Amino acid sequence: MAARKLLVLFGSQTGTAQDTAERIGREAKRRHFQCRVEALDSYDVANLINELLVVFVCATTGQGDPPDNMKIFWRFLFRKNLPPGSLCQLDYAVLGLGDSSYPKFNFVAKKLHKRVLQLGGNPLLPVALGDDQHDLGPDAVVDPWLLALWDKILALYPLAPGLEIISPDVRLPPKYTLQYLDEDSPHPDGGLLQPTASRALPSELQPFAARMVSNQRVTAESHFQDVRLIEFDVTGSGITFSAGDVVMIQPQNSPEDVQQFCQLLRLDPDRRFVLKPTEPGTSLPALLPQPCTIRHLVTHYLDISCVPRRSFFELLSYFSTNELEREKLQEFSSAQGQEELYSYCNRPRRTTLEALWDFPHTTCAVLPEYLLDLIPRIRPRAFSIASSVLAHPDRIQILMAVVRYKTRLSKPRRGLCSTWLASLNPEQGDVRVPLWVKKGGMKFPSDPDTPVIMIGPGTGVAPFRAAIQERVAQGRRGNCLFFGCRQKSKDFYCQAEWEELVTKGFLTLFTAFSRDQEEKVYVQHRIQENRRLVWELLSNGNAHVYLAG
């Protein structure tokens, strides 16, 4: 009988595709398959010709782009020299996660399905097009599609005689076992954030511990929104970037939240442990030191402030000794309970930590080794770089709005990364922030005579500040900026800088202060008023137009 092996490969930007891929992995284990779940870019794509059974789960980002962790795979798959029959022994299925409010809805999944078919693959099912816009989210498509998929797969790979599908009432083993170390075993050296001595360029797996130089509020104290201009020193990091590029920042949980979490789960934050994979072939989490303290795990790795997903409630229900709590958790993890879950979690933006508070009997019964299955890792946040190396060598600046808003919950919602960054004060000692740089989607013209029209309301002006600094340093004059905010006196970011450049003849500036007069005025009104100039730049000057929100 053929080996019952399944490979699940995912391309995920925000974690939804990864969550779905892991769900398929759990369902495979219940059906006694040997199953690996891997990000597309950590998989050696040259092995694809030897695979017999693969499920691809992929999101679409931006304007039909593949997620970051499948870009290498994507380039390989579309190479012209791949022979047409190279995947003829592969049975496959593609599950897409997208948003139908975008024109290129599930573009990546559709294109992947077609390409594997071209290369000789045999599709088990039509491509699934999960849609975020559906009342029940992507699960409305995913749930029935997975039932059909298992029917097809079990027809090809039936269970061995005497084996049954493991009942949904049985809890599967964790991905890792957690072994506590004795208090007196030798301590490893400090935290993760030692500036790396290696010559490798900083990346997600090896961020650079940049020193925060300044953290300045650029809105009036009386303004409802707190916006910061933050500067980092990247001397010695090897980081290079140009206007339009993006800095990725790895945030951490607040000490108060970490303490609460440890109390709720009855964990000692100073206990040290090592992780061991339950199954051979599972790699350890790349960003965790071994050994590690509970405090480090909860501070730097577990995303306890994210809105929990359905899979969180499903796993949590297995620990419940309290009947009422268990019934509610099972409802939240069922297909029928998704509307209820949406109004409990997603609409009010309830955090994982808050959800754990609501299920106290269950929470204190959670086994620590399941924490890495229960709670996803903290994702890095992307910020447009708001400065140019030519104006500020060895420095990176960002323009960041501190995220804070109200829902029906009594406590205001706070953005994890912006709240953490805003709380750091470089005047009180050495403050370090893990970061690395990524190519952005904006490229500015290389021809010095090409004029540039930039439309950047609010913090959307950030990449244009980098571009204008860069272009001014190169002596280029065709810079036209449309900037909008609420009030000239409250949130006109970088006002003095813009005005100086206007005086020197480097910048044409149009401003729209929406609340400074009776009728609201926005950037589009200023563009309309200056339509002759805009048309002149476009038709005769061959201008490039950029828009950032």
For the segment 333-347, what is each residue's pLDDT rounded down to a tens digit?
Answer: 998 899 899 999 999
Mean pLDDT computed over 371-387: 97
The confidence score (pLDDT) of residue 14 equals 87
Please report the pLDDT score of residue 192 as a whole number: 47
Residue 192 burial by CB count (10 A; 0-12/13-18/19+): exposed, middle or buried? middle
Q: Which CATH architecture has domain 452-547?
A: 3-Layer(aba) Sandwich (3.40)
Q: Which amino acid belongs to residue 445?
A: P
Q: What homologous superfamily is domain 208-251+380-438 in, according to CATH?
A: Translation factors (2.40.30.10)
Residues of the chain above pLDDT 90, percent: 88
Q: Residue 408: pLDDT above 70?
A: yes
> DSSP state, 111?
H
Q: Give the pLDDT score at 195.
A: 47
In 3D, which of 195, 366, 204, 372 has the Cα closest to residue 273? 372
The mean pLDDT of 520-535, rounded to a whole number, is 97
C-alpha to C-alpha distances, 430 to 24, 293, 393, nearest whole angstrom: 45, 23, 20
Specify whether domain 5-156 bears CATH 3.40.50.360: yes
Residue 370 CA, distance from chain mean position: 22
- The yes-or-no answer to whether 5-156 and 452-547 have a common fold is yes
Residue 186: per-residue pLDDT: 65
**pLDDT tens digits, 217-229:** 999 999 999 999 9
Q: Which two tokens stand for residue 254?
A: 């607040």
Answer whether residue 1 shows pLDDT above 80.
no
Q: What is the DSSP code string of 317-386? A: HTT--SHHHHHHHHHHTSSTTHHHHIIIIITTT--HHHHHHH-HHHHTT--GGGHHHHSPBPPPEEEEB-
Q: What is the pLDDT of residues 190-200, one digit of tens each?
A: 444 444 455 68
> HEC profile for 33-96?
CEEEEEEHHHCCHHHHHHCCEEEEEEECECCCECCHHHHHHHHHHCCCCCCCCCCCCCEEEEEE
Q: What is the pLDDT of residues 108-131, one digit of tens each?
A: 999 999 999 999 999 999 999 999
* Mean pLDDT value across residues 200-220: 95
CB atoms within 10 A of CB 14: 14
Environment class of 336 (CB within 10 Å of its CB; exposed 0-12, middle 13-18, buried 19+) = exposed
Across residues 302-319, what is the average pLDDT? Answer: 97
The mean pLDDT value of the chain amounts to 94
In CATH terms, 255-374 corresponds, of 3.30.530.20, 3.90.1150.10, 3.40.50.2300, 1.20.990.10, to 1.20.990.10
Which residue ranges make up each domain of the chain?
5-156, 208-251+380-438, 255-374, 452-547
pLDDT tens-digit profile of 344-365?
A: 999 999 999 999 999 999 999 9
Among 165, 146, 170, residue whose Cα is nearest residue 317: 170
